[in-house]
């Protein structure tokens, strides 16, 4: 089976199907849309008993998964013909112009519920990149959409959680907006760390299982799980009005307070990760190596790059090597590593540093202060660096950042500050003192401050 196909532990499959109502089988049969080893079939029988044995159907993810599932059906004396053998799960998500091509025999079954743990991703890019999960495009939203299009009463699945924060590669923001704003989710159990569900499997950004019904419209019973700690809220998924799911229940009040006192996001200072490079042409990207170790009469632009390539962390390039963003070169700016941590640990951001006029960076870094219309001074840049090191900022980043990547959008919830000497924040103070000023500025309670301090370790 593909490494994007993860077998669900039986205890987890049990928990997933517990969300289904007791009466679900009175409305029709149930379909496992992505069977691998018949684990959801077993869970359904354990939950509802043998009387539903002729009402469970399965589509398998592959021929191998079919054989595993067939063995389970044989052992449980279930009808083998209830395993569809003319197509696989992947055939169900073939589509063109949003038109899905699901076999008619599936449609005609009028399933009461569609359940399962669908494949998560497909590799994108060249062969060298095929094994890099960061280069994988999400396909589980296609399975969710296919399940919904079958018009069952319920959709009951376990998937990665990256869709909630719009940070998964290949996930349509428009699709997420639709899922959030239609308010059809009855319950979601969201695991911040996937290891709480799957042993020895890394799924960046965690996983969740849910119960969805097109016939329901209302608030969602949302349970956030972090180890043994569970926090529950009953709210609309976009209840914080930020355009994504705030997965940390404790963060919702903090966000509300910050937003009530800020009108502009720090994100507007943060440049794209392709600010200077052309990835398609391989120009100034991570692997580009046509630089000079020392400055020369031709190589006059300082080029910050990965220290694995050059131990000191910078080299020199010619102005003619650049293809865009020429107006950023003379600016004062701040560079920060594009990647930090795993998305599941407490390393939220890397170490920022000052970028002097006459410099640019590779894709290893994100450039802050890239817009000539928001020209920062050197003093303001050092204030920005201190802001980036605060627990306050990194906590707000952590709410949306659930992979290693620190693209501009992870700063969405971070409020803009005045970084000049006239600021209401005294940037000459220590990081701890600046944090205290920020907590006071946004009227955070002792309890809310404790949440931030416990979640974020000092730099």
User: Given the structure tokens 């949306």, which residue do they identify?
Assistant: 400
Q: Is there a domain that residue 108 lies in?
A: yes
User: Are 21 and 123 within one domain?
Assistant: yes
Which range among 92-106, 128-142, 435-449 shows the weakest confidence by mean pLDDT?
Answer: 128-142
Last residue of some domain: 222, 249, 276?
249
User: Are 175 and 324 within one domain?
Assistant: no
User: Are 414 and 334 within one domain?
Assistant: yes
**Taking 70 as the threshold, does the pLDDT of residue 69 lie above it?**
yes
Q: How far are the Cα atoms of 127, 290, 307, 320, 355 from residue 364, in angstroms, in the given order? A: 21, 16, 9, 21, 14
Please report which confidence band the pLDDT of residue 127 belongs to, taking 50, 70 and 90 as the band edges: very low
Listed residue (398, 395, 392) closest to 417, CA to CA: 392
C-alpha to C-alpha distance for 151 and 233, rounded to whole angstroms: 28
Listed residue (139, 191, 137) closest to 161, CA to CA: 191
Task: Specify whether the CB–CB gap between 115 and 89 falls below 8 A.
Answer: no
User: Are 201 and 296 within one domain?
Assistant: no
C-alpha to C-alpha distance for 190 and 455, rounded to whole angstroms: 17
Pairing verdict, β 30-35 and 113-116 = parallel
**Taking 60 as the threshold, does the pLDDT of residue 134 lie above it?**
no
- Full domain range(s) for residue 71: 10-249
pLDDT of residue 94: 81
Please report which confidence band the pLDDT of residue 126 belongs to, taking 50, 70 and 90 as the band edges: very low
pLDDT of residue 125: 46
pLDDT of residue 365: 95
Q: Is there a domain that residue 297 lies in?
A: yes
Please list, in sequence order, all residues whose beta carbon lies within 8 angstroms of the beta carbon of residue 7, skipping any fewer than 6 positions away.
1, 36, 37, 39, 117
Neighbour-count burial for 231-242, b at 16+ CB within 10 Å, e otherwise: eeeeebbbbbeb
Q: Which pLDDT tens digit goes with each residue over 348-381?
A: 899 999 999 999 999 999 999 999 999 999 999 9
More confident position, 86 or 170: 86
Mean pLDDT of 30-53: 97
Which range among 130-139, 156-165, 406-415, 419-428 shows the weakest confidence by mean pLDDT?
Answer: 130-139
Using a pLDDT cut of 70, give the percent of the chain over it. Answer: 94
User: Are 240 and 282 within one domain?
Assistant: no
User: Are 201 and 293 within one domain?
Assistant: no
Average pLDDT taken over every residue of the chain: 91
User: Are 230 and 171 within one domain?
Assistant: yes
Mean pLDDT of 154-179: 91
Q: Is there a domain that residue 3 lies in?
A: no
Last residue of some domain: 187, 220, 249?
249
Task: Specify whether the CB–CB gap between 205 and 167 falls below 8 A.
Answer: yes
| CA-CA-CA-CA dihedral for 325, 405, 123, 116, to nearest 10 | -140
SS3 263: coil
Last residue of some domain: 249, 282, 302?
249
| Region label for 458, one of left (φ > 0), alpha (ψ between -120 and 50) or beta (otherwise) | beta
pLDDT of residue 424: 97
Task: Specify whether the CB–CB gap between 150 and 191 falls below 8 A.
Answer: no
**Taking 90 as the threshold, does the pLDDT of residue 385 lie above it?**
yes
pLDDT of residue 341: 75
Q: Which pLDDT tens digit goes with each residue over 180-237?
A: 999 999 999 999 889 999 988 888 889 999 999 999 999 999 999 988 889 899 999 9
User: Are 227 and 299 within one domain?
Assistant: no
Mean pLDDT of 307-336: 96
Q: Is there a domain that residue 255 lies in?
A: no
User: Are 223 and 310 within one domain?
Assistant: no
Relative orientation angle of helices 391-400 and 251-260, to the nearest 10 degrees: 110
pLDDT of residue 339: 87
User: Given the structure tokens 């209302």, which residue do they identify?
Assistant: 218
User: Given the structure tokens 């180890």, which residue do they identify?
Assistant: 227
User: Are 321 and 188 within one domain?
Assistant: no
Task: Specify whether the CB–CB gap between 73 and 80 falls below 8 A.
Answer: yes
pLDDT of residue 343: 64
Q: Is there a domain that residue 347 lies in?
A: yes
**Taking 50 as the threshold, does the pLDDT of residue 12 lie above it?**
yes
What token pair was written down for 44?
Answer: 């359904």
> How many domains does the chain fold into?
2
C-alpha to C-alpha distance for 303 and 355, rounded to whole angstroms: 10
CA atoms within 13 A on the CB side of 28: 16
**Taking 70 as the threshold, does the pLDDT of residue 243 lie above it?**
yes
Task: Specify whether the CB–CB gap between 306 and 338 falls below 8 A.
Answer: no
Q: Where residue 95 sits, what CATH number does that domain have?
A: 3.40.50.150
SS3 8: coil
Number of Cβ within 10 Å of residue 402's Cβ equals: 23
Q: Which pLDDT tens digit goes with each residue over 395-428?
A: 999 998 877 888 999 999 999 999 999 999 999 9
User: Are 66 and 185 within one domain?
Assistant: yes
pLDDT of residue 328: 97
pLDDT of residue 128: 38
Please report which confidence band the pLDDT of residue 101 belongs to, taking 50, 70 and 90 as the band edges: confident
Helix residue ranges per DSSP H, 203-281 = 251-260
Q: Is there a domain that residue 256 lies in?
A: no
User: Are 283 and 241 within one domain?
Assistant: no
């Amino acid at each position: 089976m593909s490494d994007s196909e993860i077998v669900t532990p039986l205890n987890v499959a049990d928990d997933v199907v517990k969300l289904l109502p007791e009466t679900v089988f009175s409305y029709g049969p149930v379909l496992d849309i992505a069977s691998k080893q018949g684990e959801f079939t077993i869970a359904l029988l354990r939950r509802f008993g043998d009387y539903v044995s002729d009402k469970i159907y399965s589509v398998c993810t592959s021929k191998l998964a079919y054989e595993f599932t067939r063995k389970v059906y044989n052992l449980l004396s279930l009808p083998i013909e209830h395993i569809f053998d003319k197509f696989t799960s992947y055939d169900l998500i073939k589509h063109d112009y949003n038109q899905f091509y699901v076999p008619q025999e599936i449609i005609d079954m009028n399933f009461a519920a569609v359940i399962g743990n669908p494949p998560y991703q497909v590799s994108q890019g060249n062969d060298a990149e095929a094994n890099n999960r960061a280069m994988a495009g999400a396909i589980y939203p296609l399975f969710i959409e296919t399940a919904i299009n079958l018009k069952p009463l319920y959709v009951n699945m376990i998937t990665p959680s990256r869709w909630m924060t719009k940070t998964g590669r290949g996930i349509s923001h428009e699709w997420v907006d639709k899922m959030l704003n239609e308010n059809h989710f009855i319950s979601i159990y969201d695991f911040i760390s996937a290891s709480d569900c799957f042993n020895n499997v890394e799924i960046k950004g965690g996983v969740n299982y849910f119960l969805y019904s097109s016939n329901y419209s209302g608030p969602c019973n949302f349970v956030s799980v972090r180890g043994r700690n569970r926090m529950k809220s009953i709210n609309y998924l976009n209840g914080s009005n930020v355009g994504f799911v705030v997965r940390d229940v404790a963060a919702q009040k903090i966000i509300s307070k910050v937003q009530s006192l800020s009108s502009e996001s720090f994100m507007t200072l943060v440049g794209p990760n392709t600010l200077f490079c052309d990835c398609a042409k391989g120009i100034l990207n991570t692997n580009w190596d046509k630089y000079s170790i020392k400055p020369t009469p031709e190589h006059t632009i300082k080029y910050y790059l990965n220290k694995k390539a050059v131990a000191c962390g910078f080299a020199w390039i010619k102005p003619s090597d650049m293809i865009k963003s020429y107006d950023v070169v003379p600016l004062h700016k701040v560079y920060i590593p594009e990647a930090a941590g795993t998305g599941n640990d407490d390393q939220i951001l890397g170490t920022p540093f000052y970028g002097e006029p006459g410099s640019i960076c590779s894709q290893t870094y994100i450039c802050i202060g890239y817009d000539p219309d928001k020209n920062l001074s050197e003093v303001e840049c050092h204030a920005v660096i201190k802001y980036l090191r605060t627990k306050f900022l990194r906590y707000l980043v952590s709410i949306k950042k659930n992979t290693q990547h620190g693209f501009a959008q992870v700063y969405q919830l971070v409020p803009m500050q005045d970084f000049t000497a006239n600021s209401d924040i005294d940037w000459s103070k220590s990081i701890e003192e600046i944090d205290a000023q920020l907590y006071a500025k946004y009227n955070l309670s002792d309890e809310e401050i404790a949440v931030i301090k416990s979640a974020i370790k000092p730099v």
